[in-house]
Amino acid sequence: MDQLLQFVFSGLTVGAVYALVALGFTLIYNASDVINFAQGEFVMLGGMVTVFAHAAGMPLPLAAGLAVAVAIATGLALHRFAIEPARGADAVTLIIITIGASILIRGLAQIAFDRQFHRFPAFSGEDPIALLGATVLPQSLWVLGGAAAIVAALRLFMDKTLLGKAVRATAANRLAARLVGIDTALVLAIAFGASGAIGALAGILITPITLTSVGVGTLLALKGFAAAMLGGIGNPVGAVAGGIALGLLESLAAGFVSSTYKDAVAFLLIIAVLFALPQGLFGRRAIERV
Amino acid sequence: MPRLSARDATLLLLLAALVALPLLLPSSFHLRVASLVWIQALAAVGLNLLMGLAGQVSLGHAGFFGIGAYAVALGPRHLGLDPLLAAVVGLVGAAGLALLVGRPILRLRGHYLAVATLGLGVLVWLVLNSEVELTGGPDGIQVPRLVLFGMRVAGAESWYWISGTALLLGVWLALNLEDSPLGRALRALHDSEVAARVAGIDVARAKLVVFVIAAAYAALAGSLLALFNRFVTPQVADFLHSIELVSMVVIGGLGSASGAIVGAAILTVLPQALTVFHEYEQAVLGLLIILFMIFLRQGIVPGLASLTWRRAAA
């Protein structure tokens, strides 16, 4: 029982990160129909920039702020220089562009940083807290709290601000949004920038636990994509639920079945779910008009 | 004189390139790179049938490639099979896997199909990477030398001709398939599945057949690559290789067999050429992929073809 709880805690922690990556996917997909495989690189940038800025003597909060700024700038540049010029291209072409972008970002990061694994100290100490017979790292609470705060902030932004409503309108119908005077180019930029920020925050929160290196982005992007699809692509609630579910299952599988194949869980799960529900867990059935 | 059909022109052009290249290439290193191009092109030509003709994406095709590659490594080692027989086993195994998972997977569309094939590919890679006892794990494994007609195949030149012949046969088969009833059925369902179904095409079956064929192409290419390198690592089955294969097809031009070969040539030669950039290699590769996709969206071969056609019409 204690063991189960332990796996649940670690699953929730990892799941929160998957949820944030999936949320980033969803944000960009809703605004532009682009599946952004460079999403994992935002997470990598968040961790790596913080590590190196902190090592250069910057206080941790400032270093983290710089990392978020770098990721936002990367997201904006990705949109401006890679996605925007290819407007109207088909889905596969756009996927290849974002994968090309992720190779480019990783390549540049390799030059700027190094290939080692890094971490920085946890935000509030490393002593595990005993909870219901299991233990939790204080940083895990930071991850969960941070993820919840990000999701809540995004929700508030979408529901309460004019700009957020513009983003939602654009997601619902781009042409209609433009007709009522919404600046869809601005909305796209916001989506890419916000995705970058969310990814970077996820990277900053998780690095003290899992460490980071230039290569962490690829697998995170694949799993985040799986999580987003699990919830039904384009559905923010589904993305968060998919991410948490994925993290929990992965952790339980690693604990009770095989830690070698913990990475397989995400992909087995997504294939199994799609076999049963071809539109994802929360996706709506698409009807083709002939 | 009757005009050459596009099909015969493609085959003749490939044959001419095949014969002429050894005369132009200065060293056995270049011959080895050319062999690599033929092998990757074989996989790309198969994938093009699935993507270009039938319009179904696969982001996990390197999984089938990996099955072929590891068949010739593991068959001789663990079962005492002849490498050639092991390649056949790998081909049948990959086709069998495609047959098994093809029907439920191909029911999916668009991004859902992409993520399901991606998952399949990653699972194959994970098994190859994790079963250290069986596959040697991330460090890779030795592959025995190929024996053909009692002769051990060695040397860049032999491999050039073997891989070249395999590609020529593969392209010939692919072009025939495009002109067959199955090819027409696939083109029809590419345009509209509903319309194809109304016209009496068994859409699920047609998609399944082309998926199995594309998997067989990839497996054969994988076997050839492993035998050629005499060594194989799980990298042949990883996500990046799947993406390379898809990029070859798209960069060369979806739906064009010669495009797939051109795409394979570019993405195989480019990394060799980029080694002069040392640490900038990856960044430059990523940048070039983006630029190709932005500025040659149709793909190189169809892009050039429409350009010359326009000039001829003017």
What are the structural domain ranges in chain B?
6-235
Q: Are B98 and B286 in contact (CB under 8 A)?
A: no
The predicted structure's pLDDT at residue B226 = 94
**Residue in A101, A261, A278 closest to B107 by CB:** A278
Query: Testing the interface with B: which of A32, A34, A92 to mutate, by most B Cβ within 10 A?
Result: A92
Residue reference for tokens 């982001």: B59
Q: What is the mean pLDDT of residues A177-185?
A: 90
Residue reference for tokens 């051109």: B262
B280/A91 touch (CB, cutoff 8 Å), yes or no: no
The predicted structure's pLDDT at residue B312 = 65
Q: Are A227 and A243 in contact (CB under 8 A)?
A: yes
Q: What is the mean pLDDT of residues A15-21?
A: 94
Q: Are A227 and A27 in contact (CB under 8 A)?
A: no
Taking 3-state DSSP, the helix, strand and coil percentages for chain B, each rounded to the nearest 5, stand at 80, 5, 15
pLDDT higher than 90, residue B136: no
User: What is the residue range of A69's domain?
Assistant: 2-276
The predicted structure's pLDDT at residue A289 = 52
CA distance B231 to B69: 9
Residue A289 lies in a domain: no
Region for A142 from its dihedrals, namely left if φ exceeds 0, alpha if ψ lies in -120 to 50, beta otherwise: alpha
Residue reference for tokens 């997504």: A270
Instruction: Provide the number of CB pairs (under 8 Å) joining chain A to chain B.
Output: 131
Query: Testing the interface with A: which of B294, B297, B300 to mutate, by most A Cβ within 10 A?
Result: B294
Q: Are B143 and B72 in contact (CB under 8 A)?
A: yes
Between these two residues, A21 and A270, which has the higher pLDDT value? A21
A274/B247 touch (CB, cutoff 8 Å), yes or no: no
Residue A33 lies in a domain: yes
Q: Are B183 and B207 in contact (CB under 8 A)?
A: no
B239/A107 touch (CB, cutoff 8 Å), yes or no: no
pLDDT digits (tens, 9 = 90+) for A251-282: 998 888 888 888 888 888 888 888 887 776 66
The predicted structure's pLDDT at residue B158 = 87
The predicted structure's pLDDT at residue B296 = 80
The predicted structure's pLDDT at residue A266 = 85
CA distance B147 to B84: 7
Task: State pTM to two decimals.
Answer: 0.88
The predicted structure's pLDDT at residue A287 = 54
The CA distance from B259 to the nearest CA of chain A, in Å, is: 15
pLDDT higher than 80, residue A189: yes
Residue A86 lies in a domain: yes
pLDDT higher than 60, residue B44: yes
Number of domains making up chain A: 1
Q: What is the mean pLDDT of residues B237-255?
A: 89
pLDDT digits (tens, 9 = 90+) for A92-114: 888 889 999 999 999 999 999 88
Residue A281 lies in a domain: no
The predicted structure's pLDDT at residue A285 = 56
Q: Chain B window 132-191: which residues touch A at a Cβ cutoff of 8 Å?
A: none
**Quick one: which of B226, B107, B55 has its CA closest to A279?**
B107
Q: What is the mean pLDDT of residues B150-179?
A: 88
**Residue in B119, B194, B288 closest to A290 by CB:** B194
The CA distance from A290 to the nearest CA of chain B, in Å, is: 7
pLDDT digits (tens, 9 = 90+) for A37-46: 999 999 999 9
pLDDT higher than 60, residue B314: no
What are the structure tokens assigned to A278, written together? 């071809």
Percent of chain B residues past pLDDT 70, beyond the cut:
97
Q: Which of A236-240, B12-16, B90-94 has the highest mean pLDDT?
A: B90-94
Taking the CA atoms of residue A115, residue B127, residue A280 and residue B61 in that order, the dihedral angle to the nearest 10 degrees is: 80
Instruction: Point out the least confidently predicted range of A157-166, A277-286, B298-307.
Output: A277-286
Residue A189 lies in a domain: yes
The CA distance from A267 to the nearest CA of chain B, in Å, is: 5
Q: What is the mean pLDDT of residues B75-81?
A: 87
Residue A264 lies in a domain: yes
pLDDT higher than 80, residue A150: yes
In 3-state terms, what secondary structure has residue A231?
coil
The CATH number that applies at residue A206 is 1.10.3470
